[in-house]
Amino acid sequence: MSNIAMVAAPPSSSCDSDTYLLFHGETLLSTGARASLYTVALAYCFIGLSAITARFFKSMEQIMKHSREVVVIDPHTKEPVVKHEKVWNYTVADIALLAFGTSFPQISLAIIDAIRNLGQLTAGGLGPGTLVGSAAFDLFPIHAVCVVMPRAGSKKKISDLGVWLVELVWSFWAYIWLYVILEVWTPKVITLWEALLTVLQYGLLLLHAYAQDKRWPFVSIPFVRGERPEDWVPPEDVSVDYDNCDDTNETLPISANRNDGIVDVFSAHSYHIAEYSRVPEKDMEGSSTMDQVVKNTQEDISWLSIWWQQFVDASMLESPESRKMHSICLRFTTIFWNLIIAPWKFLFAFVPPYNIAHGWIAFICSLIFISGIAYGVTKLTDQISCVTGVSPYVIAFTALAAGTSWPDLVASKIAAERQVTADSAIANITCSNSVNIYVGIGVPWLIDTVYNFFVYQEPLYIDNAAGLSFSLLVFFATSFGCITVLVLRRIILGAELGGPRLWAWVTSVYFMILWVVFVVFSSLRVSGVI
């Protein structure tokens, strides 16, 4: 090992408590006042993160709704028909769009932390700490919320156990792999090859999940797939018997929330059940009907008015629905809340409408805004750690993990409450945990290791490897307890979510206890108590 490793500068997390972040006079405040100020600012960033994530999900919905027309011959009538096939595969969309989208706040924060530490031989702990803490938040509190979401007595189970098992195995392996490269293969050091292999495993996860969905021989688990919904957000006129949700293959009707304040209803799946329609003769000849021409023209013009309406909505403190409220208190609360989030709503109104380019422009713009907020979160976290003396790693796997995992919570809650099956709710959790490691930790480490390899010819040193490894062990032990209970619920009650109200709440409390155990033991280890 060269001498450069022995004289490596400390990470850039060192700070000066006399510097200001928000305004000049803040250095004159007491330590407690400054800490409270930064905490409020951090919470406000999380509100903004939720607001822009709502737009991000709507753009994902447009992307996943994109379908292509394929002309085939009907085997019965021998006439040409148009088969509308969704571009995105159902399972791949779970991992590549839903899980990646809900994890992007954590991923962007980790990448920003890695870029800030370029030139240092020691990796920052803010990104990995947030992602490991986010995995624990996803697995325990989100499961705790989902299990009580179905109506009293109703049960919701995973319909495609094969895909879930594949995602679960890759999720567990992600944390085993992280422990191996931290403590076994090259202790406390990450090499370029280790970082590269970490990222490449995300591609293997996608391939294996797709193979399981298509039931490829030799690489798929021979489980029969049950009924699953076609659309995550069904048409408004879909009627469902809420008391017999387990016996229907329709999804519950959802009305999208037009107020872009906090994460609202979004589409979380690709829909690949084909829709058929007879092909008009003119269409078969390659020309469009007059109705289609008019429709395309209207769509080209409408996005300008929609974009303008975004700014109009951002300036309104009351919606037509809130004006109909009989309670003055509720109306006042609504106005007050809209006043708080008005700056975020106006800023995010600059994101183009979702109907442009199948949602890709809004998708990219949303990612840019999320990255900007994540940068502000890292600066606030540095200041909170500097003023209070609390380890940034502790802040990362508690406050930052919970705040950045809010989209995961909302996504799974909606799925558990309104989907017929438990696939979307639970798959979002397991897939997000895999993405956290393979992409959220793998990509930042790859950035740092590539830089160190070409500039210093040195690997990346992990300053808090012992604390991170200990958190992984605690997480692995507690997650085994979580999955065991889910399996037992499937065997005994016949479903992972819902069931008798008492047992649903007992399971929920048990999951929350597991999360508290993880947070307490990880904090004590970082503090040097254990």
Highest mean pLDDT among 39-53, 223-237, 479-493: 479-493
Q: Above pLDDT 90, what percent of the chain?
A: 14
CB-count exposure of residue 243 (10 Å: 0-12, 13-18, 19+): exposed
User: Could you tell me the CA-to-CA distances from 219 to 222, 318, 330 in Å, in that order?
Assistant: 9, 55, 55
Tokens of 262: 């906090």
Query: What span, in angstroms and rounded, lies between the C-alpha atoms of 483 and 3?
Result: 46
Query: What span, in angstroms and rounded, lies between the C-alpha atoms of 106 and 101?
Result: 10
Q: Which of 87, 61, 69, 436 is nearest to 269 (CA)?
A: 61
What range defines the domain where residue 426 resides? Answer: 30-223+296-527
* 9 in any annotated domain: no
* 5 in any annotated domain: no
Mean pLDDT, residues 61-66 taken together = 77
**What's the order of all strands across the beta sheet hosting 275-278?**
67-73, 80-86, 275-278
* 290 in any annotated domain: no
Mean pLDDT, residues 343-351 taken together = 89
* 276 in any annotated domain: no
Is 412 or 200 the better-scoring residue by pLDDT?
A: 200
Mean pLDDT, residues 46-50 taken together = 83
Mean pLDDT, residues 303-310 taken together = 82
Model pLDDT for residues 388-398, shown as the tens digit of each residue:
888 777 888 78
- Tell me, what's the pLDDT at 6? 34
Of 95-104, 349-358, 445-454, 496-505, minimum mean pLDDT range: 95-104
Return all residues near 482 (Cβ < 8 A) that are at least 6 apart. 139, 140, 143, 511, 514
Model pLDDT for residues 89-105, shown as the tens digit of each residue:
777 877 877 777 778 88
* Beta carbons within 10 angstroms of residue 525's beta carbon: 21
pLDDT grade, residue 447 (50/70/90)?
A: very high
- Tell me, what's the pLDDT at 511? 96
Residue for token pair 């994540």: 374
Model pLDDT for residues 114-170, shown as the tens digit of each residue:
888 887 878 777 777 888 888 888 889 999 999 999 887 788 988 888 888 888 899
* 141 in any annotated domain: yes
* 142 in any annotated domain: yes
- Tell me, what's the pLDDT at 301? 56
Query: What span, in angstroms and rounded, lies between the C-alpha atoms of 105 and 128?
Result: 13
Contact 43, 404 (CB under 8 A): no
Number of residues written out for the chain: 530
* 348 in any annotated domain: yes
| Number of folded domains that form the chain | 1
* Beta carbons within 10 angstroms of residue 403's beta carbon: 22
User: Could you tell me the CA-to-CA distances from 456 to 28, 186, 413, 452, 466 in Å, in that order?
Assistant: 41, 18, 47, 5, 24
* 159 in any annotated domain: yes
Query: What span, in angstroms and rounded, lies between the C-alpha atoms of 338 and 239?
Result: 32
SS3 of residue 8 by DSSP: coil
Q: Which amino acid is at 366?
A: S
Half-sphere exposure of 135 (CA within 13 A, CB side): 31
Tokens of 127: 């990104």
Indicate the average pLDDT of the chain.
76
Supply the CATH number for residue 378's domain. Answer: 1.20.1420.30
Q: What is the DSSP string of 113-174?
A: HHHHTTT-SEE-SHHHHHHHHHHHHHHTHHHHHHTT-SPTT-EE--S-HHHHHHHHHHHHHH
Contact 448, 117 (CB under 8 A): yes
User: Could you tell me the CA-to-CA distances from 486 to 33, 159, 367 in Å, in that order?
Assistant: 44, 14, 34
Tokens of 512: 């929350």
Q: What are phi and psi of 197, to 5 degrees?
A: -65, -35
Q: Which of 105, 127, 214, 161 is nearest to 430 (CA)?
A: 161
Highest mean pLDDT among 216-220, 261-265, 290-294, 437-441: 437-441
Of 223-227, 417-421, 431-435, 519-523, minimum mean pLDDT range: 223-227
Of 245-259, 412-426, 469-483, minimum mean pLDDT range: 245-259
Query: What span, in angstroms and rounded, lies between the C-alpha atoms of 233 and 3?
Result: 59
CB-count exposure of residue 135 (10 Å: 0-12, 13-18, 19+): buried
Q: DSSP state, 72? A: E
- Tell me, what's the pLDDT at 229? 55
Q: Which amino acid is at 34?
A: R
Is 529 or 34 the better-scoring residue by pLDDT?
A: 34
Of 138-147, 201-210, 212-221, minimum mean pLDDT range: 212-221
Is a pLDDT exceeding 80 seen at residue 288? Answer: no
Of 76-85, 145-154, 189-198, 214-223, minimum mean pLDDT range: 76-85
- Tell me, what's the pLDDT at 300? 52
